[in-house]
Chain A
Amino acid sequence: MQSRSWLMRPFGERSTLIFLGVLLATMALVTLLHVAVPAGHPLYVSAYTVNLFGKYLSYALLAVAVDLVWGYLGILSLGHGAFFALGGYAMGMYLMRQIGDRGVYGHPVLPDFMVFLNWDSLPWYWHGFDMAGFAFLMVLLIPGALALMFGFLAFRSRVTGVYLSIITQALTFALMLAFFRNEMGFGGNNGLTDFREILGFNLRSSDTRLGLFLATGVALALGYVLCRAIVTSKLGRVCVATRDAEARTRFLGYRVERFQLFVFVVSAMLAGLAGALYVPQVGIINPSEFSPLFSIEIVLWVALGGRATLYGAVIGAILVNYAKTVFTGVMPDAWLFALGGLFVLVTVFLPRGVAGLLALRLRRRGDSDASLSAKEAAA
């Protein structure tokens, strides 16, 4: 197993194969039930549901990204929403530019909100986003660059633990305030919305929506495999080593801060990708995605699903968001009780999350990543 190339290694794991199998089967089933089953049939999956699943999957990818840094590197980022939102904004800018002259004011270049605020030309940072390739590259590069800058400073100075968590929170909070400012040129509180098409496909057609759902599924699969490949490589073990005994790892000659930075940047890029897939599906990106509470919520998904397992993060993200969808519809006045109660009960009674329950059944010898000692849990 160890002798395979690092990227192929996850395919030798049972858990990864099961995960990919379930994911692909779900995607195929949803597609089939949406396309082939007539509307009104009890098995019919509506465009609404497809869209909802697409959203869940993008959240799942975000949760995987968070689990990579929190579960394996021990960095509790309370600011991953920022990378998600930045990816989303990059995508949003592309979608805005695709509107072209079909905005309400019919301006050929400027998005509506700029006309509305009386801007006469496109700000420099909006250039290039009319090209899909450039925009998609930025989806990865912008969050990556921010993570690189922030991580370089923080890891070099050995900011750790709670201090790191709080300054990641400060980071996303500062970005939220900045993006709320209309002068920033990102549409202020209203954000970017009213998208028309992506790569020439009409965003309001249910076929595009299905396509986006499938694309998100594929992205999640790839992201999962990439993360799995990282954590099963020697680098992944260095991460776990860093998480549990940072000083020891340093004394073994590893430049711990560089490893942290590398994984942090990869995670930020994945979060950005998740954001970029999320935006066309929900149709809006606005600064509230930067809200620190949202970032805390992401961590909760991971905790609920089970930390340091990756598949647990996926389960957690889907479970919590599904619960939210159901509860806000079924008991609009009391859903916060249910959600809050869920968080409390899971942390108290299921310290290793849903995946912990699964792991009890699937526990195999040597599957070292799937379990955490008490000390790690405390880290």
Chain B
Amino acid sequence: MRYPPVAWPVATGARAGSAVEDSEPMHAATRGSWLMVLVLALTLALGLTLAAPASAQDAERSDDTMAQALLAALDVSSFAAKGEAIEAIVRSDDPRARGWLQALLDGRLQRTDDGRFVVVLDNSGRQWPVEDALTGEALGEMSRRDLDRIGINNARRNQLRSAIAVVDLYAADAGLRRASAERLLGEVDGDLAGSLAEVIEAEPDARVKERLLQALAIYRLEQGEVEAIDDLRGSLHPRVRVALARAASGAIESRAAAGEEPTLVEEARSALSGIEQKLKVNRAVETLYFGLSLGSVLVLAAIGLAITFGVMGVINMAHGELIMLGAYTTWAMQQLLPGQPGLALILAIPTGFLVAALAGIAIERGVIQFLKGRPLETLLATFGISLILQQLVRTVISPLNRTVVTPQWMSGSIAINDALSLTLNRMVVLGFALVVFAALMLIMRRTRLGLEVRAVTQNRAMARSMGIRATRVDILTFALGSGVAGLAGVALSQLTNVGPNLGQNYIIDSFMVVVFGGVGNLWGTLVAGLSLGVINQVLEPWAGAVMAKIIVLVFIILFIQKRPRGLFPQKGRAAEG
């Protein structure tokens, strides 16, 4: 079952909407009319409370007893009773209503032990700053022991959102109106439908208008109007599809006379099949995106390894822990810059690189330099280092996961259409992976360091004799590979856990990617990472997540039989040695 969106009759809403244009303050005498409610709520929403005339303020003050009673009605344990209380608040003309509803929605409307209602401004820690819900006066900090939260559940939350949505439909801000229109899709009832037509007429924003038209069309379809289908054709919104599916199954009785062509069921079916066709394409695009996104994570995790392992021949089992360090750096930056998660994230990019690179230098100087030419022993020593780093994080920071906040500009998704939206955080990570890759290619191809690295890789003795300081090149290469691992960590902190086990989850996958792509070849790593990601995501829907992974592993094993040196093998006699 669904909850009716609003309790108040919206029929008068259109008039209220036109009243907005006058923006003339209402007279207190009209108290009780729905018009008044909407406008006052609206004025409040627009932050115009201060501009309200004195007469209204007087009314508010004299209203406090009644407001107290309204809020007290919320303080019951039954959610059904709470629903009625919310309705009563909506029906009241109190200008503070929207604020209360919002506070209630956010769980910040609370009652003190002495029966006063307050809005909690910040509910972290043991002492919470509060303000009076009636007067808005700051009351300082109160202990959470002395406060009782007015709880709501999802049903009430729906009710509150719908109530706020209808209010917002008349808001001046197009963004609010848009959100409100989105919400009304499939939620329009008879009362609202009547006024909606006029709202649509007056609506300046094309998107809001289209949405509202669809919302109305769904309602009309449910009433059996065949013509409504024309407004819905091609829309990918799930609500539209649900309504059409219902119509196609014959659940809706057509209003048109029997025998009249075309019938509702047939029309709905044809509209539906058009939609399904489009959806198929969308799903393919979506799967591709998922695959590329997973692939970009693999590439990021593996590309640092491709440098230390592929170029230097060091099998760095602590690579995962360097990724972890990058992720923890992001967390630390966010702790240092509270309230600015985005800035912290951006600053974490260079810092994470540096932290991991320094750790890498320490590993190289402390251990790896003593193991020159013994690649398998670097595996063993760095495995020991990875154990130490993990436990270090557990001991120094905490064995628990840390919260890394996703900044506003990275959360949510970009809606390409109603059925396809691309998650923003993954898109940023995908872009980031490509940028990191491009930067690495530039470094390896275009800089002195890259040249020296390639020289040392190919013939250490010769490079030395030509005046290249091989030791310095080793340090820099390892630092670069480690730093890139740190960057991977910064990106991963936006997708997954930031905890001591973070690195463990990626180390094996990273090795697979590097080996599949061909050791020593950055392009190979890119292609391997992205293609493994896509293969995995294509397989997942029909094979399941576990089987998909197994199939990919078996595929890699068989592929290596076919091409023992990966996708892009190093060629020539040198590779044989």
Do A's and B's CB atoms come within 8 Å in the complex? Answer: yes
Q: Is B377 within 8 A of A377, CB to CB?
A: yes
Query: CB-CB < 8 A to A160: which residues of B?
Result: 564
Does A224 count as interface, using CB distance less than 8 angstroms? Answer: no
Q: Is B553 within 8 A of A170, CB to CB?
A: yes
Does B45 count as interface, using CB distance less than 8 angstroms? Answer: no
Smallest CB separation, B572 vs chain A (Å): 16
29 contacts between A and B (CB under 8 A): A150-B557, A154-B561, A157-B560, A157-B564, A159-B560, A159-B564, A162-B519, A163-B566, A167-B515, A167-B557, A167-B560, A169-B508, A170-B556, A171-B557, A173-B508, A177-B549, A178-B546, A299-B379, A334-B395, A336-B388, A339-B384, A340-B384, A340-B386, A340-B388, A343-B387, A344-B385, A347-B377, A347-B384, A351-B377
Query: CB-CB < 8 A to B387: which residues of A?
Result: 336-337, 339-340, 343
Query: CB-CB < 8 A to B390: which residues of A?
Result: 336
**Known contacts A173-B508, A180-B546; is A163 also within 8 Å of B564 by CB?**
yes
Does B504 count as interface, using CB distance less than 8 angstroms? Answer: yes
Does B370 count as interface, using CB distance less than 8 angstroms? Answer: yes
Q: Is B561 within 8 A of A344, CB to CB?
A: no
Smallest CB separation, A249 vs chain B (Å): 15
Query: CB-CB < 8 A to A181: which residues of B?
Result: 546-547
Question: Could you say which of B375, B386, B504, B561 contacts A378, with CB atoms under 8 Å apart?
Answer: B375
Q: Is B373 within 8 A of A348, CB to CB?
A: no
Q: What mask results when residues 370 to 402 of chain B are scored 1 for a CB within 8 Å of chain A, else 0?
A: 110111110111011111101110010000000
Q: In the complex, which residue of chain B has the Cβ closest to the Cβ of A247?
A: B576
Complex CA gap A84/B558 in Å reads 23
Complex CA gap A181/B547 in Å reads 9
**Known contacts A170-B553, A177-B546, A339-B387; is A299 also within 8 Å of B380 by CB?**
yes
Q: Is A377 within 8 A of B557, CB to CB?
A: no
Q: Is B384 within 8 A of A341, CB to CB?
A: yes
Q: Is A303 within 8 A of B384, CB to CB?
A: no
Q: Is A167 within 8 A of B556, CB to CB?
A: yes
Q: Is B561 within 8 A of A163, CB to CB?
A: no
**Known contacts A154-B561, A163-B565; is A174 also within 8 Å of B512 by CB?**
no
Complex CA gap A10/B550 in Å reads 42
Query: CB-CB < 8 A to A300: which residues of B?
Result: 380, 383-384
Q: In the complex, which residue of chain A has the Cβ closest to the Cβ of B377?
A: A347
Query: CB-CB < 8 A to B561: which residues of A?
Result: 153-154, 156-157, 159
Q: Is A174 within 8 A of B554, CB to CB?
A: yes
Query: CB-CB < 8 A to A153: which residues of B?
Result: 557-558, 561
Does A187 count as interface, using CB distance less than 8 angstroms? Answer: no
Q: In the complex, which residue of chain A has the Cβ closest to the Cβ of B376?
A: A76
Question: Could you say which of A171, A174, A377 contacts B374, with CB atoms under 8 Å apart?
Answer: A377
Does A342 count as interface, using CB distance less than 8 angstroms? Answer: yes
Those of A143-178 within 8 Å (CB) of chain B: 150, 153-154, 156-160, 162-163, 165-167, 169-171, 173-174, 177-178
Q: Is B564 within 8 A of A158, CB to CB?
A: yes
Those of B343-366 within 8 Å (CB) of chain A: none
Q: Is B391 within 8 A of A336, CB to CB?
A: yes
B contact patch SS: helix
Does B511 count as interface, using CB distance less than 8 angstroms? Answer: yes
Q: Which 7 A-B pairs have the closest CB atoms?
A: A343-B384, A340-B387, A336-B391, A340-B388, A174-B553, A347-B381, A340-B384
Query: CB-CB < 8 A to B547: which residues of A?
Result: 181
Complex CA gap A177/B557 in Å reads 15
Does B280 count as interface, using CB distance less than 8 angstroms? Answer: no
Q: In the complex, which residue of chain A has the Cβ closest to the Cβ of B317?
A: A296
Q: Is B375 within 8 A of A166, CB to CB?
A: no
Does A120 count as interface, using CB distance less than 8 angstroms? Answer: no
Question: Could you say which of B380, B395, B558 contacts A303, with CB atoms under 8 Å apart?
Answer: B380
Complex CA gap A339/B370 in Å reads 20
Query: CB-CB < 8 A to B565: which residues of A?
Result: 163
Does B196 count as interface, using CB distance less than 8 angstroms? Answer: no
Those of A329-367 within 8 Å (CB) of chain B: 333-334, 336-337, 339-344, 347-348, 351
Known: A162-B309, A167-B557, A340-B383; 19 extra A-B contacts, CB below 8 A, are: A156-B561, A159-B561, A159-B564, A160-B564, A170-B512, A171-B557, A177-B549, A178-B546, A178-B550, A293-B504, A303-B380, A333-B395, A337-B391, A340-B384, A340-B385, A340-B386, A341-B384, A343-B383, A344-B384
Complex CA gap A150/B381 in Å reads 28
Complex CA gap A319/B519 in Å reads 35
Q: In the complex, which residue of chain A has the Cβ closest to the Cβ of B576?
A: A247
Q: In the complex, which residue of chain B has the Cβ closest to the Cβ of A343?
A: B384
Complex CA gap A340/B553 in Å reads 29
Does B573 count as interface, using CB distance less than 8 angstroms? Answer: no
**Known contacts A159-B560, A160-B564; is A166 also within 8 Å of B383 by CB?**
no
Does A306 count as interface, using CB distance less than 8 angstroms? Answer: no
Chain B interface size band reads 35 or more
Query: CB-CB < 8 A to A341: which residues of B?
Result: 384, 388
Question: Could you say which of B376, B377, B511, B554 contacts A169, with CB atoms under 8 Å apart?
Answer: B511
Q: Is A162 within 8 A of B375, CB to CB?
A: yes
A residues at B contact (CB < 8 Å): 76, 150, 153-154, 156-160, 162-163, 165-167, 169-171, 173-174, 177-178, 180-181, 292-293, 296, 299-300, 303, 333-334, 336-337, 339-344, 347-348, 351, 374, 377-378
Does B562 count as interface, using CB distance less than 8 angstroms? Answer: yes
Q: In the complex, which residue of chain B has the Cβ closest to the Cβ of A293?
A: B504
Smallest CB separation, B367 vs chain A (Å): 6
Complex CA gap A180/B547 in Å reads 11
Query: CB-CB < 8 A to B553: which residues of A?
Result: 170-171, 173-174, 177
Query: CB-CB < 8 A to B564: which residues of A?
Result: 157-160, 163
Smallest CB separation, A99 vs chain B (Å): 28
Q: In the complex, which residue of chain B has the Cβ closest to the Cβ of A342?
A: B384
Query: CB-CB < 8 A to A178: which residues of B?
Result: 546, 550
Q: In the complex, which residue of chain A has the Cβ closest to the Cβ of B309?
A: A162
Smallest CB separation, B484 vs chain A (Å): 20
Q: In the complex, which residue of chain B has the Cβ closest to the Cβ of A347?
A: B381
Q: Is A347 within 8 A of B380, CB to CB?
A: yes
Smallest CB separation, A361 vs chain B (Å): 23
Does B534 count as interface, using CB distance less than 8 angstroms? Answer: no
Query: CB-CB < 8 A to A165: which residues of B?
Result: 376
Does B473 count as interface, using CB distance less than 8 angstroms? Answer: no
Complex CA gap A154/B559 in Å reads 10
Q: In the complex, which residue of chain B has the Cβ closest to the Cβ of A300?
A: B380
Does B213 count as interface, using CB distance less than 8 angstroms? Answer: no
Complex CA gap A171/B315 in Å reads 19
Complex CA gap A118/B542 in Å reads 24
Q: Is A163 within 8 A of B515, CB to CB?
A: yes
Query: CB-CB < 8 A to A343: which residues of B?
Result: 380-381, 383-384, 387
Q: What mask results when residues 533 to 548 of chain B are scored 1 for a CB within 8 Å of chain A, else 0?
A: 0000000000000110
Smallest CB separation, A244 vs chain B (Å): 13
Q: Is A296 within 8 A of B383, CB to CB?
A: yes
Query: CB-CB < 8 A to A378: which residues of B?
Result: 373-375
**Known contacts A299-B380, A336-B391, A343-B384; is A166 also within 8 Å of B550 by CB?**
no
Complex CA gap A29/B549 in Å reads 49
**Known contacts A334-B395, A340-B385; is A157 also within 8 Å of B374 by CB?**
no
Query: CB-CB < 8 A to B373: which residues of A?
Result: 374, 378
Q: Is A344 within 8 A of B367, CB to CB?
A: yes
Q: In the complex, which residue of chain B has the Cβ closest to the Cβ of A304?
A: B380
Q: In the complex, which residue of chain B has the Cβ closest to the Cβ of A78?
A: B379
Q: In the complex, which residue of chain A has the Cβ closest to the Cβ of B390?
A: A336
Query: CB-CB < 8 A to A171: which residues of B?
Result: 553, 557
Smallest CB separation, B389 vs chain A (Å): 8
Complex CA gap A156/B564 in Å reads 10
Query: CB-CB < 8 A to A336: which residues of B?
Result: 387-388, 390-391
Question: Could you say which of A150, A166, A348, A377 contacts B511, with CB atoms under 8 Å apart?
Answer: A166
Complex CA gap A241/B512 in Å reads 29
Q: In the complex, which residue of chain A has the Cβ closest to the Cβ of B564?
A: A159
Complex CA gap A165/B375 in Å reads 12
Smallest CB separation, B135 vs chain A (Å): 53
Q: Is B546 within 8 A of A348, CB to CB?
A: no
Q: In the complex, which residue of chain A has the Cβ closest to the Cβ of B563?
A: A157
Query: CB-CB < 8 A to B377: which residues of A?
Result: 303, 347, 351, 377
Smallest CB separation, B9 vs chain A (Å): 54
